């Protein structure tokens, strides 16, 4: 196979999180140059190291400042509300469903990227660990969040919490652990393992282990001109490499990490990362799921449908709708 | 020959000066309002367990807007930092040239920044971008207010540069020093006047 | 590339091009010659992200808090009271500068704001009493840096955020090193003034009656400390929200003392906007420069440099300290933290160093960067406040304090418990 002689300048997601450290960085810094037999050289950094917030990187890619970039799709919904459809609260309760959803929606994302970001090409969709709920207050089901002060980022999560009757609080992420500990807020949403590594189990007592904050999918995309400049062989090779050596690995790890995150936080199960915490694990009930479907179909999906054109709603129903059995309409 | 132009410019600059002061004051008032907003948020959270004011998001916008509104005032007060270790050792005419270079470099700064800020605000406006927050602010609004401060700053810089250039051409070194010179020299001049008085 | 960059930077600064414009021009220069991408296209987004910042609002808020204290005469009362306790030491008022800075640091999370407050109160006194301007202004610039070591501290919040370290623990860890550093400043200043009395001023003696009666002037600031830090630990407010409570508190205290008027508030606002405008223009420009440096691969070079060296823990630590001292000359401190912490902290922590301890060491290095020329925000602030005199004075005057900070850094490395004692006690 002939691989082009070229270079990629890659801007990755949060440098402090394991997705970048364990997957993005090794893949782009080492794997691509090696697997291409030295034909492709790379330059790797992250948006936070560039002083960016993460929401602007696709726009900068469209303006030819960045060649390849990954960021949380939710950060960029300002520019492309179509991306919001990928990740709704508790729409995909487990990793397998989340992966099916991401695979089904991929072609739609690709189209949206191409339209919104000047011909950009989607290369990969990978999840962060599911965004679960930590409470420093007693809860026994999802409905107990009603009346609680919950810190969440992102519009859809906030709408979901509102539908549950919880008080959505906007706080800077850096201030969450202190705010939880001292009762400024009752609950907060973050990834289970990152909650463990930043010691949230010391300041919170109850864990609701389902993705109330969704999966915060990280989408990797390439500048349109750059993509067009690659030979068909190289394009095919690159997509295959990403699928096998990046995406598949991240999804596989997501299964383990979700399990291990819960084990480490609650002490129920194997925790290889250190002393486990002893948070109370709250079980999701059938009525939780019923309530979720109702809120999604009655409130969140119609709100989202109002923000995008009808054809994207149709495409959503054909793809994610058929995977999850949910229906979106204006 | 340049006299009518310079005195006309001086009058305009006086207007710009007081405009800058008022814009900075308005920025200050925005900051005071944020203080009130955050305090109300803290109190309502403590007392009635609710906080619906979205202070985090609004505070960010206020930060951007009020600082851009302060730039021109900072310029008028000669508070944008220049390192004058070499400057103060140079003869008067050379200092005037450096003052002009300083202003022109700020003008270059402004041209770039205003152009870039305009693109950002325009892109948000035409794309209908809304913040991904519960508030869903149309981001062009804070961006346009931010841009306003930057444009005003540019106007001030350009007029000052023009005035300093004319001052240099007609040899009015005192005017140049008064408008754009390093504050170090103002101080020395004041000291000397004190001694001769 | 590095040599050329530094040359351009120094030449522009030397011909007295404003610092903010220098940084932007430098960014454009690097973009033009070293980057394959039109980075200038990103300027608008970078500047908007930099300006639209929830964390940075703490800077004008803490400055405003200080301005209110200054304009209502509360700060002057505090300064006088501390002077009566400390100015018998060789060096006179210099010790009042450091002591006041230490006290205000406990209400302010920003070094720049602390330096601006102390500078506004102290500089007129220093001029009236004909102090040598160098050490006088230097002690203010250096004392002001304590603002980010003694809690609350914006920079510790940023570190905690980037490294996922507990912020209350970091705050607790900063307390003792902050006070020790203040003590070191006092001892160091006294020694310098014993050696060269002309650098300080006359030691003045006050009666014990005078000293004790002056203590009441400390009440407003101690109250404010209670409001700002108390509200954080009581769980009412987050550290950034506490700054707002501090402003309200200062206004209420001033009003209760009958010193608040419309003109005072207006003057305080004008002063705040002038200083904020100065700082933010530089910070905005430095964000763009940071973006260009990161795009040009400086972060990658840094990482590979640190990793390929393959040194032991303490050699690596030494190299990192040296790197911060050098980068600290030229890069604005918040940007410096954002560029480097994601690279450096994981390496250091994987070598077995404590993240809380490293946070404190790093803050010390950042304090140093605030007062080293040519790019040192605290130097600029003090120069801006005094409105006259050569920048050289401040630059030279701060150097002895840089040396004292180095001593403190050595002490922190040799005795990590200086930082870790208090957080461990609280756990
Ligand atoms: Na402080
Ligand atoms: Na420095």
Q: State pLDDT tens for residues A246-276.
A: 999 999 998 888 888 889 999 988 888 888 8
Interchain pair B42, C245: CB under 8 A: yes
Is the pLDDT reported for residue A217 higher than 50?
yes
Q: A52–C38: do the CB atoms touch at under 8 Å?
A: no
Residue B87 lies in a domain: yes
pLDDT band at residue B197 under the 50/70/90 scheme: very low
Percent of chain C with pLDDT over 70: 99
pLDDT of residue B193: 60
Per-residue pLDDT reduced to its tens digit, C26-36? 888 888 888 77
Asked whether the beta carbons of residue C51 and residue B64 sit closer than 8 angstroms, the reply is yes
Total domains present in chain B: 1
Closest CA–CA distance from residue A84 to any residue of chain B (Å): 10
Residue B51 pLDDT exceeds 80: no
- Average pLDDT over chain C reads 87
- Beta-carbon count within 10 A of C399 CB: 15
Restricting to B residues 66-95, those with a Cβ less than 8 Å away from any Cβ of A are none
- Cβ neighbours of residue C241 under 8 Å, at least 6 residues apart? B38, B41, B42, B55, C231
A308 to chain B, any CB pair closer than 8 A? The answer is no
Query: Tokens 């291990």 correspond to what residue?
Result: A260
In angstroms, what separates the C-alpha of B170 from chain C's closest C-alpha?
A: 23
* Residue C120 reports pLDDT greater than 90: no
Query: What letters, b where the CB count within 10 A reaches 16 and e where it falls short, cover C323-334?
Result: bbbebbebbbbb
Which token pair is C372? 């080293």
* C-beta of residue A20 within 8 angstroms of C-beta of residue A36: no
Task: Answer whether the bond into residue C152 is a cis peptide, omega within 30°.
Answer: yes
Most confident of A1-10, B16-25, C388-397: B16-25
Q: What ligand is nearest to the CA atom of residue C398?
A: 2
- How confident is residue C59, by pLDDT bands cut at 50, 70 and 90? confident
User: Does pLDDT of B194 surpass 60?
Assistant: no
Q: Do the domain assignments include residue B197?
A: no
> Residue A79 in 3-state DSSP?
coil
CB of C284 within 8 Å of a chain A CB? The answer is no
- Could you read off the pLDDT of B85-120 as tens digits, one per residue? 788 788 888 888 999 999 999 999 898 899 999 999
Average pLDDT rounded to a whole number, residues C88-111: 88
Tell me the residue range of the domain where B157 lies. Answer: 3-187
Least confident of A8-17, A144-153, B132-141, C276-285: B132-141
| pLDDT score at B196 | 44
A residues 37..76 contacting C (CB < 8 A)? 43-46, 48-53, 56, 59-60, 63-67
Q: Considering the domain boundaries, does residue B95 fall inside one?
A: yes
Picking from A79-83, C73-77, C227-231, C292-296, which range would have the lowest pLDDT averaged per residue? C292-296
| Residue C416, SS3 per DSSP | coil
How many angstroms separate the CA of residue A286 from the nearest CA in chain C?
35
DSSP B136-151: --BTHHHHHHHHHHHH
CB B134 to CB A158 under 8 A?
yes
C38–A contact, CB cutoff 8 A = yes
Exposed, middle or buried, A235 (CB in 10 Å: 0-12/13-18/19+)?
A: middle
Mean per-residue pLDDT, A114-141: 92
Q: pLDDT for B154-190, tens place per residue?
A: 999 999 999 999 989 888 888 888 888 877 666 666 6
> Please, which residues 173-192 of chain A have a Cβ atom closer than 8 Å to chain B?
184
Task: Summarize the confidence of residues A86-104 as an average pLDDT.
Answer: 93
Check CB contact under 8 Å for C38 and A66: no
3-state secondary structure of B23: helix
- Beta-carbon separation of A167 and B49 below 8 A: yes
User: Each residue of A197-224: b (16+ CB within 10 Å) or e?
Assistant: bbbbbebbbbbbbbbbbbbbbbbbbbbb
Confidence of residue A200 (pLDDT cuts 50, 70, 90): confident
- The reply to whether omega before C374 is within 30° of 0 (cis) is yes
Does residue B121 belong to any structural domain of this protein? yes
SS3 (DSSP) at C197: helix
pLDDT of residue C299: 66
ipTM > 0.85?
A: no
CA of A21 to the centre of ligand 1 (A): 33
Which ligand minimizes its atom distance to the CA of C243? 1
pLDDT at site A275 = 86
Q: Mind giving me the DSSP string for A131-189?
A: EEEEESS--SSGGGGTT-EEE--SHHHHHHHHHHT-EEE---GGGHHHHHHTTS-SEEE
Nearest chain C CA: its distance from A43 CA (Å): 7
Which range has the worst mean pLDDT, A98-102, A246-250, C159-163, C274-278? C159-163
Indicate the pTM of the whole model. Answer: 0.84
In C105-134, the residues whose Cβ lies within 8 Å of chain A are none
Over residues C410-420, the mean pLDDT reads 94
Q: What is the mean pLDDT of chain B?
A: 86
DSSP-derived secondary structure letter, C235: T
Higher pLDDT, B136 or A227: A227
Whether pLDDT at C231 is above 90? no
How far is C122 from C69, CA to CA, in rounded Å? 13
Which of A170, A179, A308 is the mutation pick for testing B, counting most B CBs within 10 A? A170
Best C43, C48, C268 residue to mutate vs chain B (most B CBs within 10 Å): C48
Q: Which residues surround ligand 1, an ion (CB under 5 A)?
A: C 105, 147, 150, 153
Q: Determine contact, residues A279/A272, Cβ cutoff 8 Å.
A: no
How many angstroms separate the CA of residue A246 from the nearest CA in chain B? 28
Residue C341 pLDDT: 83
B193 within some domain: no
Min Cα distance C187 → chain B (Å) is: 30
C396 chain-B contacts, CB cut-off 8 A: none
Contacts of C335 (CB under 8 A, 6+ apart): A51, C283, C286, C287, C289, C290
The confidence score (pLDDT) of residue A272 equals 87
Q: How high is the pLDDT of residue C372?
A: 94
Which range has the top average pLDDT, C100-114, C218-232, C259-273?
Answer: C259-273
Whether chain B has a CB inside 8 Å of the CB on A299: the answer is no
Answer whether residue A173 shows pLDDT above 90: no
pLDDT at B160: 93
pLDDT, tens only, C60-71: 998 899 889 989
CB contact under 8 A, A49 and C342: yes
Q: Determine, for residues B132 and A75 on separate chains, whether the beta-carbon distance falls below 8 Å.
A: yes
């Amino acid at each position: 196979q002939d691989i082009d002689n070229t270079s990629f300048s890659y801007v990755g997601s949060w440098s402090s999180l394991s997705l970048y450290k364990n997957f993005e960085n090794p893949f782009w810094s080492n794997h691509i140059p090696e697997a291409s037999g030295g034909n492709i050289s790379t330059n790797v950094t992250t948006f936070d190291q560039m002083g960016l917030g993460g929401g602007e990187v696709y726009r900068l890619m469209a303006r030819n400042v960045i060649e390849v970039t990954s960021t949380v799709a939710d950060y960029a919904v300002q520019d492309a509300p179509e991306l919001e459809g990928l990740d709704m609260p508790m729409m995909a309760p487990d990793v397998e469903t989340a992966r099916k959803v991401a695979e089904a929606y991929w072609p739609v994302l690709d189209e949206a990227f191409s339209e919104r970001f000047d011909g950009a090409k989607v290369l990969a969709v990978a999840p962060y660990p599911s965004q679960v709920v930590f409470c420093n207050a007693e809860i026994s089901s999802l409905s107990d969040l009603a009346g609680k002060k919950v810190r969440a980022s992102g519009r859809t999560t906030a709408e979901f919490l509102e539908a549950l009757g919880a008080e959505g609080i906007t706080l800077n992420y850096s201030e969450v652990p202190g705010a939880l500990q001292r009762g400024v807020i009752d609950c907060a949403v973050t990834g289970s393992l990152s909650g463990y590594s930043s010691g949230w189990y010391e300041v919170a007592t109850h864990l609701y282990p389902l993705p109330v904050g969704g999966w915060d999918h990280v989408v990797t995309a390439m500048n349109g001109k750059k993509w067009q400049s690659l030979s068909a062989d190289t394009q095919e090779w690159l997509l295959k490499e990403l699928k096998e050596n990046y995406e598949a690995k991240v999804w596989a790890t997501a299964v383990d990490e979700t399990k291990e995150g819960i084990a480490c936080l609650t002490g129920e199960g194997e925790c290889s990362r250190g002393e486990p915490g002893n948070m109370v694990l709250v079980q999701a009930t059938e009525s939780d799921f019923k309530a979720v479907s109702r809120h999604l179909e009655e409130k969140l999906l119609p709100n989202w449908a109002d923000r995008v054109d009808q054809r994207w709603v149709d495409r959503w129903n054909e793809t994610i709708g058929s995977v999850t059995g949910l229906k979106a309409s204006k | 020959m340049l006299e009518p132009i310079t005195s006309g410019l001086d009058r305009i600059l006086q207007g710009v000066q007081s405009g800058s002061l008022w814009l900075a004051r308005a920025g200050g008032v925005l900051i005071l309002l944020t203080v009130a907003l955050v305090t109300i948020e803290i109190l309502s959270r403590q007392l009635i367990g609710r906080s619906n004011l979205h202070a985090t998001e609004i505070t960010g916008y206020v930060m951007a807007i009020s600082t851009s509104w302060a730039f021109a005032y900072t310029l008028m007060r000669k508070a944008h930092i220049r390192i004058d270790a070499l400057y103060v050792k140079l003869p008067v005419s050379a200092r005037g040239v450096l003052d002009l270079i300083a202003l022109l470099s700020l003008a270059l700064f402004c041209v770039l920044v205003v152009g870039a800020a305009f693109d950002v605000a325009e892109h948000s406006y035409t794309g209908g971008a809304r913040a991904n927050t519960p508030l869903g602010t149309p981001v062009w609004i804070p961006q346009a207010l931010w841009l306003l401060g930057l444009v005003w700053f540019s106007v001030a810089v350009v007029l000052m540069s023009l005035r300093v250039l004319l001052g240099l051409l007609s040899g009015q070194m005192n005017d140049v020093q008064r408008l754009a010179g390093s504050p170090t020299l103002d101080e020395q001049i004041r000291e000397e006047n004190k001694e001769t008085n | 590339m590095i040599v050329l960059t530094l040359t351009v930077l120094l030449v522009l600064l030397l011909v007295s091009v404003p610092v903010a414009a220098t940084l932007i021009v430098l960014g454009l220069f690097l973009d033009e010659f070293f980057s394959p991408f039109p980075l200038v296209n990103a300027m608008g987004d970078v500047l908007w992200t930099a300006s639209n910042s929830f964390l940075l609002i703490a800077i004008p808020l803490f400055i405003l808090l200080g301005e209110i204290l200054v304009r209502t005469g509360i700060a002057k009362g505090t300064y006088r009271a501390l002077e009566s306790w400390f100015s018998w030491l060789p060096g006179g008022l210099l010790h009042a500068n450091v002591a006041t800075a230490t006290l205000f640091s406990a209400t302010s999370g920003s070094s720049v704001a602390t330096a601006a407050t102390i500078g506004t109160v102290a500089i007129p006194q220093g001029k009236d009493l004909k102090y040598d301007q160098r050490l006088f202004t230097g002690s203010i610039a250096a004392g002001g840096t304590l603002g980010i070591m003694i809690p609350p501290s914006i920079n510790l919040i940023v570190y905690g955020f980037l490294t996922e370290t507990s912020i209350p623990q970091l705050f607790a860890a900063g307390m003792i090193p902050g006070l020790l550093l203040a003590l070191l400043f006092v001892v160091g200043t006294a020694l310098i003034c014993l050696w060269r009395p002309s650098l300080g001023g006359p030691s003045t003696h006050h009666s014990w009656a005078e000293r004790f009666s002056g203590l009441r002037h400390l009440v407003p600031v101690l109250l404010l400390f209670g409001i700002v830090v108390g509200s954080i630990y009581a769980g009412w407010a987050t550290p950034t929200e506490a700054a707002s409570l501090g402003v309200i508190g200062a206004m209420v205290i001033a009003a209760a003392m009958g010193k608040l008027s419309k003109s005072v508030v207006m003057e305080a606002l004008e002063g705040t906007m002038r200083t904020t405008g100065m700082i933010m223009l530089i910070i905005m420009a430095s964000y763009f420069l940071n973006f260009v440096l990161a795009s040009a691969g400086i972060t990658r070079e840094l990482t590979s440099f640190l990793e390929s060296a393959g040194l032991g823990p303490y050699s690596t630590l030494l190299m990192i300290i040296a790197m911060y001292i050098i980068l600290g000359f030229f890069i604005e401190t918040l940007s410096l933290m954002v560029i480097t912490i994601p690279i450096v902290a994981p390496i250091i922590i994987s070598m077995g160093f404590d993240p809380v301890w490293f946070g404190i060491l790093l803050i010390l290095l950042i304090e140093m960067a605030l007062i080293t020329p040519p790019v040192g925000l605290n130097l600029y602030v003090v120069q801006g406040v005094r409105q006259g005199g050569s920048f050289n004075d401040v630059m030279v005057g701060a150097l002895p304090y840089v040396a004292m900070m180095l001593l403190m850094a050595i002490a922190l490395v040799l005795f990590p418990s200086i930082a870790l004692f208090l957080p461990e006690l609280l756990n």
